[in-house]
Amino acid sequence: MGKATGFREYNRENPKKRPVEERVKDYKEIYYKLPEDKLSLQAARCMNCGTPFCNWGCPLGNLIPDWNEMIYKGEWNKAFERLSITNTFPEFTGRICPALCEGACTLGINRDAMSNREIELSIIEKAFKEGFVKPNLPRVRTGKNIAIVGSGPSGLAAAAELNSVGHTVTVFERADEIGGLLRYGIPDFKLEKYVVERRVNIMKEEGIIFKTNTNVGVDYPSEELLKNFDVVVLTGGSTIPRDLKVEGRELKGTHFAMDFLRQQNRRVAGKEILEEEITAEGKVVVVIGGGDTGSDCIGTSIRQGAKAVYQYEVMPKPPEERDDSMPWPTFPRTLKVTTSHEEGCTREWCVNTQNSQERMEC
């Protein structure tokens, strides 16, 4: 533990956000970083629990209390090394992970939980700035060739791990850029694409081969793949949207989220839009679905200049505080207000799209 009384002395402090009126004019990330002195006090709040529930809550098993103590003591390189044991891409999780660790933090029982995600992001960004992040070249090559099909976060993580133990790895991607949904799904205001490119460049230096515009099974026959590689790892994600079989579904102006979001990410990257352009400019937008993808559609619509944005969710409005159905240390499924919600939209719950004029009994 960095400081035994830290949790009593310091309150949680979240990083500031760019003002709404400024940020809706661009697609840049929203959060400022906390300065190092403030971050050290945030790390000092960690109680180094005998049973660290944060470590249990994190899907990666990140050794959170360890790096919190190191940050309190200013040991940034050590913290980076400890974080790297469990997390291949902290710059992605530090930006977009839902922070399940924070839901499991013991402090959260009667105070604000630790700001682990913010600390994680600061560790990796400092590591990049200071040059701690270096290509991790294997000492020997095994002579085994591995093909990874799909370059989203799962394909990239598999590639990094397999390359680090000496296999020769080729990543195939059917899109024109590497990154999967990190590149062509998640908007830039949540994850700017230089972050993906920076990591991919390091992976190239590590010897990983990337082949874009290659749709395995179409451009590259699977028989050939099986002949040329010892192992094939399938990390193709899912591009099948969940449709709604409702009257009027076929009407002009009704789109899947991914068609809308992908186009905007391409525009931000200065790329050509090959299909019919979708834009929310000057329109009243209805987003069906109250989750994160819906929220990303809201932020994108607002930036494109929508007249008004509504979000309809089929489930009831969640409570603002934990209730008996979500006891600590389970993840609190409480009301989430994202940065896109803050930018201006009307949210409604218990709206069943199949019967658009009716309200479900909640």
Ligand X SMILES: Cc1cc2nc3c(=O)[nH]c(=O)nc-3n(C[C@H](O)[C@H](O)[C@H](O)COP(=O)(O)OP(=O)(O)OC[C@H]3O[C@@H](n4cnc5c(N)ncnc54)[C@H](O)[C@@H]3O)c2cc1C
Binding site for ligand SF4 (CB under 6 A): 58, 60, 62, 64, 93, 97, 99-101, 116-117, 120
Task: Spell out the residues 6+ positions from residue 112 whose beta carbon is closer than 8 angstroms to its own.
Answer: 11, 12
Best CA proximity match to 199, nearest among 51, 72, 111, 91: 91
**Residue appearing with tokens 């694409």:** 193
CA angle 175, 179, 185 (to 5 degrees): 80
Name the binder of 116 from ligand SF4, ligand X, none, CB < 5-8 A by kind: ligand SF4
Name the binder of 96 from ligand SF4, ligand X, none, CB < 5-8 A by kind: ligand X
**Residue appearing with tokens 């309200």:** 359
Selected binder of ligand X within 2, 65, 153, 329 (CB under 6 A): 153
Q: Do 86 and 60 contact (CB within 8 A), yes or no?
A: yes
Name the binder of 150 from ligand X, ligand SF4, none, CB < 5-8 A by kind: ligand X
Q: Is residue 225 part of the contact set for ligand X (CB under 6 A)?
A: no
**Is-cis flag, bond preceding 98, omega within 30?**
no
Nearer to ligand X, 98 or 327 (CB): 98
Best CA proximity match to 12, nearest among 124, 123, 117, 111: 111
Name the binder of 154 from ligand X, ligand SF4, none, CB < 5-8 A by kind: ligand X
Site track 123-152 with ligand X (rule: CB under 6 A), x = hit: --------------------------xxxx
Tokens of 54: 């944060």
Site track 199-218 with ligand X (rule: CB under 6 A), x = hit: ----------------xxx-
Q: What is the sign of the dihedral through the CA atoms of 283, 288, 292 and 293? A: negative
Name the strand (E) or helix (H) holding 262: helix 257-268
Q: Do 146 and 229 contact (CB within 8 A), yes or no?
A: yes
Name the binder of 120 from ligand X, ligand SF4, none, CB < 5-8 A by kind: ligand SF4
Q: Is residue 174 part of the contact set for ligand X (CB under 6 A)?
A: yes
Nearer to ligand X, 130 or 219 (CB): 219
* Binding site residues, ligand X, CB under 6 A: 96-98, 149-155, 172-175, 180-181, 185-186, 190, 215-217, 235-237, 261, 292-293, 296
